[in-house]
Structure 1
Amino acid sequence: MATRDNIRGSLNNEYCLPKQSIARIVDAEETPQLLVSPHGKFIAYLYRSGPVDLHDISEPEVRTAGLRLSTFFTKSFARRNFYTSLRIETLPIKPDPLTSRRESFDVIPHEEGKRKLAHFKWNCDGDILAFSECFESEMYLNTYLVPERKLIRKKLCLNDTLCSPLKWVANRTLLVLKAANSNIQPPSKPRFPKRPIIRSHDNDQVKLAPTFQDLIKDDYDENLFKYYTTSKLVAVSVADNDAALMCKDVNGIEPGIYVNYEASPNGLYLKLDKLRAPFSRIVPYRYFGRRTTVHKLLVNKMRNRYSYEFELVREIAKVDAAEDIFHAHDTCRKGRRFCWWSEGHGAL
């Protein structure tokens, strides 16, 4: 049943709210997600956001290559739920878990407003929790030292368009994907295309294929795709005095469009999956050509300063865009498709 205030608001073309009983159901707090540290000493409670508000829905979207992105080098705010607060609790210690004391403390409490938190990662020892934060149109990299109960923030424009922008490679060292074009204005749309768009239809190549949304249509869309998805690897280390985060550019790896990167279990090698041109205009980015390589991590220390360098070891795969496959059940693209590290040793 509509209230008098809602009827008056609808007549004045204003936003209206339903009854309080319905609003409480919609805005009810969701069950938090749990993230246990590797050794089982701590557990993180990740509280999720409710319905997307009008401010996030009204944010402009960049649609290209089958993606819908925000202008902050992330996925669209309107189509993604972030975490808003974080709480950590100590787990009971054996052999007497019933009598052991459990402590709970808020890292980012509810009272600080609606933040956008994502990409939570524990380090190997389980005493440092890293995560990204988007607050007031600015991106931050956060690390929380659990024993010291200390939160370290660093303003860093992470690239969250294609994959997780932060991963641990050592106990106190992160590899993050930084947006390579964060200090450059996005490309402007020309009044007319610089060259004609030519498409040929050969009867010999007619096949049943699905249609996709938001594909690359012209050079402008391709430039937008490269602008928002190009990133570079940066090594971020927690200082020895636990006072700050130190960033170092990685040598040996050029900026590119990375869809995945993963360190080996022993931390000595890095696997990179990178998209390569030409970019298709009939399939989304996940069917683009890609190149998979393995690099060796070289750490140099001079006067208490570290430099990180990667040396190419081997090219694992190099496949073209998957435009000629029949999209149906049990079909796949040509060439090597998946590779991952074996548990316990550095082997693919």
Structure 2
Amino acid sequence: MCFPVFSQEYKVPPEVIKSLIEADPQPIISFNDDGSLGLVLNSDGYQSIDDLAKDELRVAGTRLDPVRYTSSRMRYYKSFSLLETKTGEEIEVEYPENGKFSFFQWSPNEQKIAFTNTTNSGVELWVIDVNSRKSSKVIETHVNDILNSPYQWFNSNNELLVTLKCNIDKPEISRTPSGPIIQETTNQNAPSRTYKDLIKNKNDELLFEHYACVSLYKVTLNGEVSSIIENRMIKDYELSPDQNYLLTEEIKKPFSYLVPYYRFPFHVSVINLDNGLSNLIADIPIDEVRPKGFDATRVGIRSVSWRRDKPSELYWVEANDGGDPNNNVEHRDIIYTLSSPFDPSSANELARTKLRFGGITWGSGKFAILNERLWSNRNQVTSLLDTDSRTISKILFDRQYDDIYT
């Protein structure tokens, strides 16, 4: 018969094994554009017992830390330094002791580096001055990085666009259901993929709405703040290359009990940062039903982003086959572009892909590299796209992406 033994501690292996297991992994190095300076990031091999034991909320396909408003599965760096590549000299930088660092990003002029430090109470935003080798906290308010990156640099190098925690109270959670959970069915046949950690009841809805809420602020390095968006469920945002506009994706209700948050309804909008006016680009409905197959996608606008070779021009993709890979069509996707004043009815067709759109790399303004692929036959095509004539001028690669010999 076995009896529990109380007040036990974790056993420690012999030193020869402990030193092997606890050896630090190789550091990660992020270089500036000319390669003259590197940021050396050091991490632990494993998460601590304290990190693994902290509270975790699983809702809408996310796993989050309900105290710090960040991902509960975040891996952190424990220290960092600067590296002079010509001399090999590693330069120490002042930073918070016993910190948990993440989200490092060079400023546009590469004279500063922003990062976050996760404390017991929340996530702080800090900036390193490359010349002085010192770091300082930008703002006292904690950021929220549950659904997206907590900041983006402005070209001024002295301002950041930051996702701050909403200044609202946590919802009151009732243990007594207010009513039954009702789900409707239709006469539409569709495969049903399963997901983890979905919304299960009204309490989960309230919790997700609270933790997904952010306020977007322009924050100077002196701590001055100006509001851009208040208390919205922003799942993605992106500044235009000329930084006159802000592209946002805002989650809307109703929430789904069948799919994660990234398939909830959302609005795609462009905000003019000078006057605050907003243009609705697309109203994306809930994405619960898709055709069968890994190459299936939703109908309507998707993959909206800024062209990197234009000051402020959007591009997006729309399925030409109804999102169903079983439909036999010549072109599966169509790429569109849209300039100011951002009227979606004025969008122009840029190109068509025979396979599913797989991404685009913008060049000098005349050419771009277009990728398309199909999971069903592992085919991948990379082409040179003439953006002036809006034609594919040359196919660079046409291969099977799982064939290591191609």
TM-score, normalized by the shorter chain, greater than 0.5? yes
Question: What's the secondary structure of 1:282's corresponding residue?
Answer: coil
- The reply to whether residue 87 of structure 1 matches residue 81 of structure 2 is yes
Aligned to 1:160: 145
Instruction: Structure 1 unaligned segments of length 5 or more: list them.
Output: 1-9, 93-100, 239-244, 299-308
What does residue 172 of structure 1 align with?
158
The residue that corresponds to 2:220 in the other structure is: 237
Amino acid at match of 1:337: R
Structure 1 contact 39–126 (Cα < 8 Å) conserved: no
Q: TM-score, normalised by structure 1?
A: 0.82
Task: Identify the residue that residue 112 of structure 2 maps to in structure 1.
Answer: 128
1:174-193 correspondence to structure 2 within 5 Å: 174-181=160-167, 184=169, 186-193=170-177
Shift of 1:237: 1.1
Q: How does 1:315-330 map to 2 (within 5 A)?
A: 315-326=280-291, 328-330=293-295
1:1-348 equivalence runs, <5 A? 13-71=8-66, 72-76=68-72, 79-92=73-86, 101=87, 103-108=89-94, 112-113=97-98, 115-153=99-137, 154-170=139-155, 171-181=157-167, 184=169, 186-202=170-186, 204-238=187-221, 245-251=222-228, 253-298=229-274, 310-312=276-278, 314-326=279-291, 328-345=293-310, 346-348=312-314
Distance 1:21 1:288, change over 3 A: same
Counterpart position of 1:7 = none
Alpha-carbon contact 2:94-2:134 (below 8 Å) kept? no
Equivalent-residue separation in structure 2 for 1:213 and 1:11 (angstroms): 34
What's the C-alpha RMSD, in Å, of the aligned pairs? 2.1
SS at 1:255 equivalent:
strand
Q: 2: CA distance between counterparts of 1:338 and 1:144?
A: 33
Letter in 2 for 1:228: Y
In the TM superposition, residue 27 of structure 1 has moved relative to its aligned partner by 1.1
- Give me the whole-angstrom Cα distance separating, in 2, the residues matched to 1:137 and 1:19: 36
- Residue 329 of structure 1 aligns to a residue in which SS? coil
Unaligned runs of 5+ in 2: 315-406
Letter in 1 for 2:248: L
Q: Determine helix, strand or coil for the equivalent of 2:71.
A: coil
Larger RCO: 1 or 2 (CA < 8 Å, sep 6+): 1
Q: CA deviation at 1:82?
A: 0.8
Deviation for aligned residue 1:12: 6.8
Shift of 1:17: 1.5
| Structure 2: distance between partners of 1:206 and 1:119 | 43
Q: Which has the higher strand share?
A: 2
What's the CA shift for 1:142? Answer: 0.5
Percent identity at matched positions?
A: 29
**2:80 match: secondary structure:** strand
The answer (yes or no) to whether the contact 1:319–1:334 under 8 Å persists in 2 is no
Q: Distance in 2 between matches of 1:166 and 1:293?
A: 19
Distance 1:58 1:277 in 2: 33
Residue 119 of structure 1 contacts residue 131 of structure 1 at CA under 8 Å; is this kept in 2?
yes
